[in-house]
Amino acid sequence: MKINIHIPTQQLELLDDAGRLVSSYAVSTALLGAGEISGSMQTPRGKHVIRAKIGEGYPENAVFRGRRPTGEIYTKELGENFPARDWILTRILWLSGCEVGYNRLGNCDTMRRYIYIHGTPDSEPMGMPRSHGCIRMRNEDLVALFDAVPVGTPVEIIE
């Protein structure tokens, strides 16, 4: 399996080992565009791997902070009570860069930047850049992707 994320089209493709398309999903990458520098709030490009899978068995819309479940389930009312919160919901696929000096180590380390593929509220649009650097997905789509890929799956983020 391999994942390609296309920033210009805001699409995530899941490919099988022969390179054939298995699934395609609309995503939302960074509002501030692509970039690798820590603190930039941009989506890092290049070759990555899924370093960790977090949230297996939790219900859709389970809320995570610091990669730990809070015990909350996202609702419209909860969102209205915390309008400034960057919601990380349902599952987390934590990415690690593979290219030293580009997206790994130093001030450009994807993993130390806490860049994930994660769920987001249904009210958030897909297909347009809106995130703070992560790759957001619909919760239902994320569950399907999470169940389909193991830790170590290659991920390429393409501008």
pLDDT digits 0-9 by tens, 109-136: 999 999 999 999 999 999 999 999 999 9
CA nearest neighbour of 135 among 147, 143, 126: 126
Selection from 60, 5, 23 nearest residue 148 by Cα: 23
What topology is assigned to 29-152 in CATH? Answer: L,D-transpeptidase catalytic domain-like (2.40.440)
For residue 159, give every residue at least 6 positions away whose Cβ sits within 8 Å of its Cβ, in sequence order, or none: 7, 8, 34, 45
Please state, in angstroms and rounded to a whole number, the distance separating the CA atoms of residues 91 and 89: 6
Rounded CA-CA distance 129/7 in Å is: 8
CA–CA gap between residue 29 and residue 12 (Å, rounded): 10
DSSP code of residue 40? S
Taking a C-beta distance cutoff of 8 angstroms, is the pair 5, 133 a contact?
A: no
pLDDT value, residue 10: 98
* Residue 39's pLDDT band (cuts 50, 70, 90): very high
Separation of alpha carbons 58 and 80, rounded Å: 23
* Structural domain spans, the chain: 29-152
The maximal CA–CA distance of the chain, rounded, in angstroms, is 47
Q: Are 98 and 48 in contact (CB under 8 A)?
A: yes
Q: What is the pLDDT of residue 95?
A: 98
Contact between 38 and 48 (Cβ < 8 Å): no
Which of helix, strand or coil describes residue 131? strand
Sign of the dihedral defined by the CA atoms of residues 68, 76, 85, 48, in that order? positive
pLDDT in tens, 64-75: 999 999 999 999
Q: pTM of the full predicted structure? A: 0.96
Q: pLDDT tens, 44-56?
A: 999 999 999 999 9
Q: Could you read off the pLDDT of 88-114 as tens digits, one per residue?
A: 999 999 999 999 999 999 999 999 999
